Structure 1
Amino acid sequence: MTEDKWMCAPKIYTECWGAEEFNTKEEAIAAGRKAATEKGELAENVFGYYCNPDVPINDFAVGRMSEPALYIPVDSLLEDIAENVYEQVGEAAETYLDDVTKDDKQKLEDIIRNWLVDNNYSPSCFLITDIEKVEVNADDTQI
């Protein structure tokens, strides 16, 4: 997913955004205003849903797409590994992995993060931030 793309939604509190992506906020607003007046297939592409042609669209939302932050719980992973070994051999493994350094934990996190990217397991979903309500005015029918 590319950062800093913009998207429109039918309402500001839309839970699941999924429609056409725009390079700028201004492009998204212009497309949203045009879709609000023309409706039909254009509105489906821009807003991600069917718009009843008999119901006016008075406003819509725009928001910036961004990637979710990936928290990789390295400490929990190491603890799970150590517990698994402890269950197999008992007290002999009591201090196993207790001395992993901060640098080594960071290396492990980087390895996992790179593995996710290299094998196309990065999230295909996204966050929407900087959401704004856009009013549709009578003048917008002239677009």
Structure 2
Amino acid sequence: MEGSWDGFLDIIGLNQDIRQKADLKVLIQFPLAEPKTDLLISLFEYIKNVYGSEKFTILWWYETSCINGKNISNLYTKIISKADLKYLQGLWERIAGDYILFLPEEFNAKVDTSDEEEFIGVCLTKYSQLLLKTPDANEVLYLRLNE
């Protein structure tokens, strides 16, 4: 595992057996959190290799309201391809402080948790691998479960 993300696998709610199979690495760095076209094209190519498809699902949370002092985040998904590069750039800039998950096209959003980190853990367990834009928008992580 890489530097500042050492503890991330500990907070995504994996049980001990799965946690021992988990691997995390920084896949791509985005200097100054800028979603530059060439870096996103590299990301699209990597996602195509991981999921075997030109299309994939992106998933993100967006804070929409505050109720009784608690911020409420809604979950959003969209199937995209390389043709949607500008959409991803705009989303990246708009929600720079939040996660974006890159998942298979056939992703099913029915996950029984409202906690973002636990949600990521459930997705990792279900799909054995995923890519994740970090909240600081400086990196995309690749998480994988080894056999």
Question: After TM superposition, is the score higher than 0.5?
Answer: no
Instruction: Give the TM-score band, short-chain normalised.
Output: under 0.3
Query: Highest Rg: 1 or 2?
Result: 1
TM-score, normalised by the number of residues in structure 1: 0.22
Which structure has more helix as a fraction of its residues?
1
TM-score, normalised by the number of residues in structure 2: 0.22
Which structure has more strand as a fraction of its residues?
2
